[in-house]
Amino acid sequence: MKIVHVANFYGPNSGGIKTTLHALGRGYLEHGHEFIYIVPGTRLQSEVTSYGRKIELPSLLLPGSGGYQMIKSNRELKRVLAEINPDRLEVSDRFTLLSLGRWARARQIPSIAFSHETLDGLAKRFIPLPTPIRKALVRWHNQKLASSFDQIIATTDFAAREFREIKCTNLVKVPLGVDLTTFHPTHRDLAFREELLQGSSILLVHCGRLSPEKEPQRSLEALRELRSRGIDARLIIIGTGPMWKKIRSLAKDLPVDTLGYICDRHRVARILAAADVSIAPGPLETFCLAALESLASGTPVVASASSAVGEFLALDQDIPAGAVAANSGRAFADAIEDLLSTPGVRAMARHVAEQLPWTRSISLMYQAHDISAIGELAPHMTTRRRVRIERAS
């Protein structure tokens, strides 16, 4: 089976999209399928990676995005796709790649679009329109997306909500996964932790893109509030983005280390495991892989109550894997302080993460693609057939 995934916003400093693409590719390859991913680049070029064949197409830099790129020409993209002749098409970008659904349908290629963001939340935050008009635009776009592709993938109930509101019948829920080996509590090195603490007592970590919709300043607000209460906490920030300079400026009088983007995932894993609490302040997160990687490292997470992260924090258990808070520094500080005094949260954090391995995600993707044959029984298909529609529960 030849599976092709097209994604914008993939690059040297991208996080969740890159992690997802690589995990999907590795999973497909392990079962004998061919995986090709097409992403933005400086020029047309191709290379074989451990995740599949990567094809880069000339791209445009998105102004004010902190380095995000998007493929320049959809016409060139479709020409390349036609040459590849995929059996299955996956798309990550509900906006500029929308036309790929119709392109695939005209060729009887089953297609899937990932909804990595909440359009309703983004529109509410960034489009100054009256509520009825804004909601009508969101419904129109979501209906167009759902009708263009054979299936829509949502990673959480939060992400699925706006599609359920329009009674989308081709919606599939596929939670993302985590590398349970790279991110593991055994990577908690006490000597390394002391090095990161630099004399402080509590180590907090924020891992994520520094962009306005993710509200990274909330982590600084929480740190400032905790220190005003006499809690000697220090914050490590991993990630970069358009708010990099602003965050560094806001952190000048606080014990904060801004490490930028770290490409070495093993180093990231050591930092996450060393922390006492991981902060995920993004109010519109539809999943947040960094939060799940923190949990896999045995580090509990405090997340925005308006995001999807609370769905996998076991909040209904006697001992949760983290907490959610209102979108204010004081509320986040309260939740962090409570977690610091709750025994057993590190073990629960790891337990929760173990329920979401990438193997489960890959298995669900096979169901969505209606793929049953694996290994030597999965040759490139010569006869097209429409994918069976799986409805989300």
> Is residue 381 pLDDT above 80, yes or no?
no
Does residue 27 surpass a pLDDT of 70? yes
Q: Which long-range contacts (CB under 8 A, 24 or more apart) does 97-100 make?
A: 97/6, 97/8, 97/71, 98/144, 98/145, 98/148, 99/74, 99/148, 100/6, 100/74
Can you give the pTM of this predicted structure?
0.92
Q: What is the pLDDT of residue 16?
A: 85
Q: What is the predicted pLDDT for the residue at 62?
A: 80
Confidence of residue 393 (pLDDT cuts 50, 70, 90): very low
Q: What is the mean pLDDT of residues 75-85?
A: 97
Helices (H) and strands (E) in the chain, counts: 14, 15
Pairing of strands 52-61, 45-49: antiparallel
Q: Between the CA of residue 82 and those of 44, 105, 107, what are the distances in Å? A: 15, 13, 9
- Written as one letter, the residue type at 287 is F
- The answer to whether residue 66 scores a pLDDT higher than 90 is no
Please list the alpha-helical segments (H only) found in 7-130.
16-30, 74-84, 99-106, 119-126
| Residue that wins the pLDDT comparison between 383 and 72 | 72
Give the list of residues 6+ apart from residue 70 with CB closer than 8 angstroms, or none. 8, 9, 40, 59, 60, 62, 93, 96
Percent of the chain residues past pLDDT 90, beyond the cut: 85
In the three-class reduction of DSSP (H, G, I as helix; E, B as strand; rest coil), residue 205 is classed as strand
Assess contact for 301 and 294: CB atoms under 8 A.
yes
Rounded CA separation 104/110 (Å): 7
First to last CA, the chain: 27
Helix axes 157-164, 131-148, angle to 10 degrees: 100
Tally of residues, the chain? 393
Residues 372 and 135: beta-carbon distance below 8 Å:
no
Three-class SS state of 121: helix
Q: Which domains are delineated in the chain?
A: 2-177+357-372 (3.40.50.2000), 185-353 (3.40.50.2000)
Whether the per-residue pLDDT at 174 is higher than 90: the answer is yes
- % residues pLDDT > 70 (the chain): 93
Question: How confident is the prediction for the chain on average, in pLDDT?
Answer: 92
- CB-based contacts of 117-122 (< 8 A; 24+ apart in sequence): 117/159, 117/284, 117/286, 118/158, 118/159, 118/161, 118/162, 118/284, 118/286, 119/94, 119/162, 120/161, 120/162, 121/283, 121/284, 122/213, 122/284
CB 86 within 8 A of CB 62: no
Residue 383, number of CB atoms within 10 A of its CB: 6
pLDDT per residue over 216-273, tens digit each? 999 999 999 999 999 999 999 999 999 999 999 999 999 999 999 999 999 999 999 9
Other beta carbons within 10 Å of 14: 20
Own/partner contacts of 307-314, CB < 8 Å, gap of 24 or more, are 307/158, 307/280, 307/282, 307/283, 308/155, 308/156, 308/157, 308/158, 308/159, 309/280, 309/285, 311/156, 311/157, 311/158, 312/156, 312/175, 312/352, 312/355, 312/356, 313/352, 314/348, 314/351, 314/352
Which pLDDT tens digit goes with each residue over 140-170? 999 999 999 999 999 999 999 999 999 999 9
- Asked if 323 and 349 count as a contact pair (C-beta separation under 8 A), the reply is no
Does residue 370 register a pLDDT over 90?
Answer: no
pLDDT tens digits, 101-114 = 999 999 999 999 99
Instruction: Tell whether the model's pLDDT for residue 371 goes beyond 90.
Output: no
Tokens (6 digits) for 121: 């939340």
Q: pLDDT tens digits, residue range 297-349? A: 999 999 999 999 999 999 999 999 999 999 999 999 999 999 999 999 999 99
Q: Which amino acid does the sequence have at 204?
A: L
- Average pLDDT estimate for 117-128: 88
pLDDT at position 387, please? 35
